[in-house]
Amino acid sequence: MESSLLILIATFFIIALIYSSVGFGGGTSYLAVLGQSFFFVSQPQIKTTALLCNIIVVIGGTYIFYKKGKLDLRKAWPFLVASVPLAFIGGFWKLQDAVFFVVLGASLIVAAILLWINPKEDNGTYVDSAALNFGIGGGIGFLSGLVGIGGGIFLSPILHLIRWDEAKKISALASIFILVNSISGLAGQLSQKPEIDWSFVIPLLIAVLAGGQIGSRLGANTFNPVHIKRITAILIVVAGINILRDHL
């Protein structure tokens, strides 16, 4: 096994462990790592790998939130209905490599800024607008499919900022949002019939499955979620700047 793949396996395991502990799939960090020029991974392979890893990690989290009654589909449906078709369109729409990497780098920097923001304490007052939910869901869904992420890392901070609901219900929505948009974005990409190197992808899927299972069990009781998010934000912004530096 090549040394570069061994590095990726170890890195993806750690990413899945950390992200699953705070309710995310890890898509932005998979993209940030695969987007580094020294790994020589093609655009289609970057996007399909990140989305497949996302799906593996968040399936368990979505199920747990559902069983605990934190997934309120009556409030969540506008985000899902608006985002799924647009994630498919984003996944179907193949960008030129130069444009893709610029969009990816800029998206990572925005995601890092959103991750850094620490939401205010919950005062029990929430804002819920169907029109706003459709707009947020659709916009993030399209971006998710375009660059190959689930979108929860954008959705969750925005919902905290607008005080959409309590923290656990936001995490539950982010989890199912990542799942359905990763599936939709992947379907859009697969409709283009890209070549997938399964000898490259399968070891990474095994790594994130193991990391995600461990991380979901450790959870926020072991890790400080604010510190984890801010450390992750620093790493993502550095990766985003590196990608922009290589492709601008």
Name which of 48, 55, 27 is nearest 180 in CA terms: 55
Rounded distance between C-alpha atoms, residue 199 and residue 67, angstroms:
35
Determine the pLDDT at residue 124: 62
What Cα–Cα distance (Å) separates residue 224 from each residue in 93, 168, 176, 216, 245?
A: 38, 16, 23, 14, 32
pLDDT in tens, 170-228: 888 988 999 999 999 999 988 887 778 899 999 999 999 999 888 877 764 556 667 77
Residue recorded with tokens 């996007």: 47
Helix axes 43-67, 167-190, angle to 10 degrees: 140
**Where are the chain's structural domains?**
3-247
Reference 187, options 140, 120, 141, 238; nearest CA is 141
* Residue, of 147 and 64, whose pLDDT is higher: 147
Q: Which residue has better confidence, 126 or 94?
A: 94
> What pLDDT does 10 receive?
94
Label residue 117 by pLDDT band (50, 70, 90). Answer: confident
Spatial separation of the C-alpha atoms in residues 122 and 165, rounded to whole Å: 9
**Does the structure show a pLDDT above 60 at 1?**
no
Q: What is the pLDDT of residues 5-48, one digit of tens each?
A: 899 999 999 999 888 877 778 888 898 899 887 788 888 888 89
pLDDT, position 208: 94
**Residue 221 CB coordination number (10 Å):** 9
Structure confidence at residue 140 (pLDDT): 94
Closest CA relative to residue 108, chosen from 237, 243, 246, 245: 237
The DSSP 8-state label assigned to residue 23 in this structure reads T
Report pLDDT for 231.
Answer: 76
